[in-house]
Structure 1
Amino acid sequence: MATWKGVLITGLLAVTLAGCKVTTTGGHFDSGGDPFISGLFYDARDTGRHYPTDSWAQTTNTQACQDDPLYFETSSGRVRVYGSPAYSETSFRAAASELERRIDGVLSRFQLRWADFVEDRTAAVSYPRQVIGCLSPNVPQGEFVSASLAAVAFNPYYGQWPFETGQIVSHELTHFVQENLSRYDASDSLLPLWFAEGQATVVAGEPVAPAYQHYDYEPLWDVTPLDAGSAPYRFEHYGLAYRYLERANGALAMTVLLEMVQLLDWDGGFYGEISTGESRAFVEAFNSAGLVDHRNNHLSFQRFRADYHDLLNGSY
């Protein structure tokens, strides 16, 4: 599959060439009695497999484990969670189990298998064959989980995990996957906020605004977290904008779009932003991906942004 997608990306180019949502209840997570994924504890001072230190691929939350040598690795070898020995073994095992159990479901929404993701993921990040986790004291209880290009950070106190643990982890794993598919070594995300959060909302199965309510918000104006307002329902509208694209074009087309962004970041020449704030790499990839609207007419980024409400108005 990955090889076929690479050919598709090359063909398309030849023709035309992360604010994060948190919703938790006051209750706490119940694993339902399911056992944790099996694995073993290791010390990086013995194995040499230290936590990633590339600052460009980290956030404040995920940087917290850079000096922690202790890690738990699942038996599959796909997931490794670092943290301080001051945290309970349960917290290590629980975080690793959530990542191991959720990653395949998230990847399936991108029309990818694990082997495809490993092949398509940026090679510039440490440990491309693993999902790296971090028990981070920098993650506030209300936020619970936070993803960067290099790792997924968890609040380190398992007893404080909310009921919506699975949904929140899936949302953050979506950010982890999309950043690894869309960036090569750019210092910041190349995806507009509405796209990144909209895709994560849809993949995680969170609420999406009804199409007939599209006039209630302008999701495409939220290019960065600084552009976003405080309306709690804005994430539902990010999901609505993204879902429109996915329904018209299919999930695989959205994955190819991300991979084209990464290719442009790797190839260079598409730096900076356009006048409305979106990265040139994202806009060029969008316009090169052959996307269509709900009537199967060609859809450029400029048309999608300018005619968003007319398009949504005619889609139901």
Structure 2
Amino acid sequence: MRACKGALLALIPVILAGCKVSVSSGHDHSDDYSHSTPGFFFDARDTGDHFPDSDWDLDTHAEACIDEPLYFESDSGRVRVYGSPAYSETDFRAAATELERHIDGVLGHYQLRWQEFVEDRSAAVPYPHQILGCLTESVLPDDFAEASVSAVSISPHHRQWPYKTGQIISHQLSHFVQENLSRYDARHPLLPYWFAEGQAAVVAGEPMASPYQHYDYDPLDDATLLDAGPADYRFEHYALAYRYLEDANGALAMTILLDLIQLIDWEDGFEGHTDTGETWAFVEAFNAAGLVDHRNQALTWQRYKTDYHYLLSHSY
């Protein structure tokens, strides 16, 4: 995989030509798990496959599963859900089913199949051939799910799950894919907050601001969560800012951008952040990706950030 990435920059002009895909939308939650993903329960004390305990690849929610030996693994082997034996068998199966149901649709938006994702994901994760789920009550029911580079934490008790469970799972799986494609061994996310949330919103089919509303918010200023304003509608503007790039360049170009960020992280030399909060890995990859605007003119990160409102106002 790394040898292929060494030649990636030379292939970009060829790969990007005319590559676009349509947005996939999330599916609403159903309480019917009579046709749930088949699989089996295991005890990590017997198999040796314990939930990872590295602080690099887990968030605070997923840490709840470090000492939980019980897990359910789907027949495909792609999904493994850990959690307390206090949760019902259906809770485990429902979580595994939602992850299995939506991962292929999410990967399809990234122009990837499962095996391609496995080969290209971060080399530091302990179980590269699987999606790990963690049932934990530390994820509030209103949030329902949170993703890190190696696990998707899910609120247990499936009968209390929200109506749009499928859409939320798709959103979090998008974050899971982003993190795996854009990080090699960095201990922190390398994507700007607006980009990560905007891409996940588009993949999950969530609401997006109309182009003529672009002056209502400055999404590119939100490089980190701490930069974000209080307005809830900012997420619709994150989606608008991301969708502009995807419409002009195609979904595959965005996947290659993530791949370039991982390549830069692998090669080192671009650590740290710019004065406006973006990681240098993101800025350098953006400028190396050969992206264009809606008029097919070269688009650097500096130009996109400076001329965002001008570009949006002339794109419709």
TM-score, with length taken from structure 2 = 0.92
Tell me the SS of whatever aligns to 1:56: coil
How high is the sequence identity, in percent, across the aligned residues? 63
- Determine the structure 2 residue equivalent to 1:222: 222
How many residue pairs get aligned? The number is 302
Tell me the SS of whatever aligns to 1:226: helix
- Determine the structure 2 residue equivalent to 1:23: none
Q: Could you say if the C-alpha distance between residues 42 and 169 of structure 1 is closer, same or farther in structure 2, counting changes exceeding 3 Å? A: same
- Determine the structure 2 residue equivalent to 1:283: 283
- Determine the structure 2 residue equivalent to 1:24: none
Tell me the SS of whatever aligns to 2:253: helix
- Determine the structure 2 residue equivalent to 1:159: 159
- Structure 1 contact 79–100 (Cα < 8 Å) conserved: yes
Q: Distance in 2 between matches of 1:133 and 1:301?
A: 35
- Determine the structure 2 residue equivalent to 1:102: 102
Q: Could you say if the C-alpha distance between residues 268 and 33 of structure 1 is closer, same or farther in structure 2, counting changes exceeding 3 Å? A: closer
- Determine the structure 1 residue equivalent to 2:116: 116
- Structure 1 contact 2–119 (Cα < 8 Å) conserved: no
Q: Give 1:222-261 correspondences, 5 Å limit.
A: 222-261=222-261
Amino acid at match of 1:157: H
Q: Deviations over 1:94-136 (max 9, x none)?
A: 0000001100000000000001100110111110000000001
- Structure 1 contact 5–256 (Cα < 8 Å) conserved: no
Following superposition, which runs of at least 4 residues in structure 1 exceed 3 angstroms of deviation? Answer: 1-7, 9-13, 31-34
Tell me the SS of whatever aligns to 1:57: coil
Tell me the SS of whatever aligns to 2:73: strand
- Determine the structure 1 residue equivalent to 2:177: 177
- Determine the structure 1 residue equivalent to 2:60: 60
Q: Give 1:1-316 correspondences, 5 Å limit.
A: 7-9=7-9, 11=11, 29-32=29-32, 35-316=35-316
- Structure 2 contact 53–63 (Cα < 8 Å) conserved: yes
Q: Distance in 2 between matches of 1:266 and 1:167?
A: 32
- Structure 1 contact 12–288 (Cα < 8 Å) conserved: no
- Structure 1 contact 211–240 (Cα < 8 Å) conserved: yes
Q: Distance in 2 between matches of 1:34 and 1:220?
A: 44
Amino acid at match of 2:65: C
Q: Could you say if the C-alpha distance between residues 72 and 10 of structure 1 is closer, same or farther in structure 2, counting changes exceeding 3 Å? A: farther
- Structure 2 contact 33–94 (Cα < 8 Å) conserved: no
Q: Distance in 2 between matches of 1:116 and 1:164?
A: 28
- Structure 1 contact 29–160 (Cα < 8 Å) conserved: no
Q: CA deviation at 1:250?
A: 0.4
Task: Flag structure 2 segments of 5+ consecutive residues without an equivalent.
Answer: 14-27
Q: Distance in 1 between matches of 2:312 and 2:286?
A: 18
Q: CA deviation at 1:6?
A: 6.4
TM-score, with length taken from structure 1 = 0.92
Amino acid at match of 1:97: T
Tell me the SS of whatever aligns to 1:172: helix
Q: Could you say if the C-alpha distance between residues 251 and 5 of structure 1 is closer, same or farther in structure 2, counting changes exceeding 3 Å? A: farther
- Determine the structure 2 residue equivalent to 1:20: none
